[in-house]
C-alpha cells in the first residue's frame, strides 16, 4: 500500500516508518513546507491551512501522528494554544483534504491519547467510557472530533488512544531516566495513581494491526493489558536500572516545578485495551518489567524475541 504518515520523524513515527517499509509498503511523508523536499515527501502547513492535496491522490491509507510535544515545557497560555491547534487544526485540515479527494484512502488512523479519560482513580477505562475533564481531555475529545469529515466521506477512521510509550528516546521514560540512573528516583505524589503504558514495539505493531483490520474503527486503546500504579512503575524502573528508587517527589513540589503538567503525572488512568484484544492483537511485551528491559537492555530484547 501507499501509506501517508505525518509526524514521521517523531518518537512513534520514526519507528513506524521502517516497520511499514519492511513489510513492503511505500511510505509518503507529510512534512512541513520548506524550500525543497524529497521525492517521498508531501508538503503541508497546518497553521496556514495549506496542503498539497494533488500529491495525495494515490494514498491508500494515512497514519496521522503529528502534534506539538505535550510535556516538553510548562503550559503557558500560548503553549496550550499550540498543543490544541497542532492536533485539532492539523487533523481537521488532513481529514477535510482526504474527504475531498477523487480517490479516497481506505483508512485514516489518527493519534489520540488516554488523556481523553481524564483522571479516574481505580476505574477500569475502556473505549466506551465517558470522556473526562481537564485540558488534555478536552483537547483529545476535539482532536478525535476533528476527523469527522473523513469518517463522513466513508473513510474508516480509528483513533489511537495511546498511553505512556516506553522508549529511552523520548516521552515520559526518557525524562525519568537521568534522575533514576543517579539513584534519585522515587514515586510521584502518593504513588497510588495508575499509569497505562505500552512498549514502543507494541505501539508500532498495534498501529499496523489497526491498519490491517477492516472492522476496527473509532477509538482504540493502545496500552498494555497490565497497567500499574506509579509506585509499581518507579520500583520496577529502579530494579531494571539496578538503582534505588526510594526518594518520593511530593505532589506540591511537582506543581511548583512543572505547573499544570504535574496534574497529568499525578492523575490516575487505569485503561484496558478491549478493542485491540478483541481484534486479535497479541502483545509482545504485556508486563512492565519485560517492556522496560526490552527498551533499556538490547541484550534482554534479543533473549525475549528468541
Query: pLDDT of 207-225, one tens digit each?
Result: 999 999 999 999 999 999 9
User: What is the band of 254 on the pLDDT scale with cuts at 50, 70, 90?
Assistant: confident
DSSP 8-state class, residue 106: S
The predicted-structure confidence for 91-125, as pLDDT tens digits, reads as follows: 999 999 999 999 999 999 999 999 999 999 999 99
pLDDT of residue 304: 40
Cβ within 8 Å of residue 305, ≥6 positions away: none
List, in sequence order, every residue forming a beta bridge with 2; answer none if it has no partner.
26
In the chain, where does DSSP find H-type helix?
A: 13-22, 77-100, 135-145, 148-152, 171-181, 200-212, 230-241, 251-258, 261-266, 274-278, 288-296, 298-305
Say what the pLDDT of residue 301 is: 44
One DSSP character per residue, 252-288 reads HHHHHHHTTHHHHHH---EE--HHHHHTT---S--SH
Alpha carbon dihedral 88, 90, 92, 93, in 10-degree steps, equals 160
- The secondary element (H helix, E strand) that includes residue 198 is strand 197-199
Least confident interval from 54-68, 152-166, 225-239, 248-262: 248-262
| Separation between Cα atoms, residue 44 and residue 173, nearest integer Å | 31
Dmax (CA) of the chain:
59
Placement of cell 499525578 in the chain = 266
Domain with residues 2-165+196-224+270-284, CATH architecture: 3-Layer(aba) Sandwich (3.40)
Q: What is the pTM of this model?
A: 0.93
Confidence of residue 298 (pLDDT cuts 50, 70, 90): low
**302: confidence class by pLDDT, cuts 50, 70, 90:** very low
pLDDT at 262: 72
Question: Is the pLDDT assigned to residue 305 strictly greater than 80?
Answer: no
pLDDT at 153 over 60: yes
3 state SS of 290: helix
235 neighbors 87 (Cβ within 8 angstroms)? no
Q: In this structure, is the dihedral angle defined by the CA atoms of residues 62, 175, 298 and 295, taken in order, positive or negative?
A: negative
Average pLDDT over residues 5-17: 95
Percent of the chain with pLDDT over 90: 79
Structural domain boundaries in the chain:
2-165+196-224+270-284
pLDDT tens column, 186-209: 999 999 999 999 999 999 999 999
Amino acid at each position: 500500500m501507499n501509506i501517508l504518515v505525518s509526524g514521521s520523524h517523531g518518537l512513534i513515527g520514526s519507528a513506524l516508518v521502517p516497520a511499514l517499509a519492511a513489510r513492503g509498503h511505500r511510505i509518503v511523508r507529510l512534512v512541513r513546507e520548506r524550500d525543497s523536499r524529497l521525492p517521498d515527501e508531501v508538503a503541508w502547513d497546518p497553521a496556514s491551512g495549506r496542503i498539497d492535496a494533488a500529491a495525495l491522490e494515490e494514498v491508500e491509507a494515512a497514519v496521522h501522528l503529528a502534534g506539538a510535544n505535550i510535556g516538553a515545557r510548562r503550559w503557558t497560555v500560548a503553549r496550550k494554544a499550540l498543543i490544541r491547534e497542532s492536533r485539532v487544526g492539523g487533523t481537521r485540515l488532513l481529514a477535510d483534504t482526504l474527504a475531498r479527494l477523487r480517490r479516497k484512502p481506505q483508512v485514516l488512523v489518527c493519534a489520540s491519547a488516554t488523556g481523553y479519560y481524564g483522571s479516574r482513580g481505580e476505574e477500569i477505562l475502556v473505549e466506551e467510557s465517558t470522556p473526562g475533564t481537564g485540558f488534555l481531555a478536552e483537547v483529545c475529545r476535539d482532536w478525535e472530533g476533528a476527523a469527522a469529515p473523513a469518517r463522513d466521506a466513508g473513510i474508516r477512521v480509528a483513533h489511537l488512544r495511546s498511553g505512556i510509550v516506553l522508549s529511552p528516546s523520548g516521552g515520559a521514560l526518557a525524562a525519568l531516566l537521568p534522575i533514576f540512573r543517579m539513584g534519585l528516583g522515587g514515586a510521584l505524589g502518593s504513588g497510588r495513581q495508575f499509569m497505562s503504558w505500552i512498549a514502543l514495539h507494541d505501539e508500532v505493531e498495534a498501529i499496523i494491526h489497526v491498519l490491517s483490520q477492516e472492522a476496527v474503527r473509532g477509538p482504540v486503546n493502545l496500552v498494555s493489558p497490565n497497567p500499574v500504579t506509579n509506585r509499581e512503575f518507579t520500583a520496577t524502573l529502579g530494579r531494571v536500572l539496578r538503582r534505588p528508587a526510594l526518594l518520593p517527589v511530593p505532589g506540591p513540589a511537582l506543581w511548583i516545578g512543572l505547573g499544570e503538567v504535574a496534574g497529568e503525572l499525578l492523575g490516575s488512568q487505569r485503561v484496558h485495551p478491549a478493542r485491540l484484544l478483541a481484534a486479535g492483537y497479541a502483545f509482545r511485551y504485556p508486563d512492565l518489567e519485560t517492556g522496560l528491559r526490552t527498551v533499556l537492555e538490547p541484550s534482554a530484547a534479543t533473549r525475549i524475541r528468541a
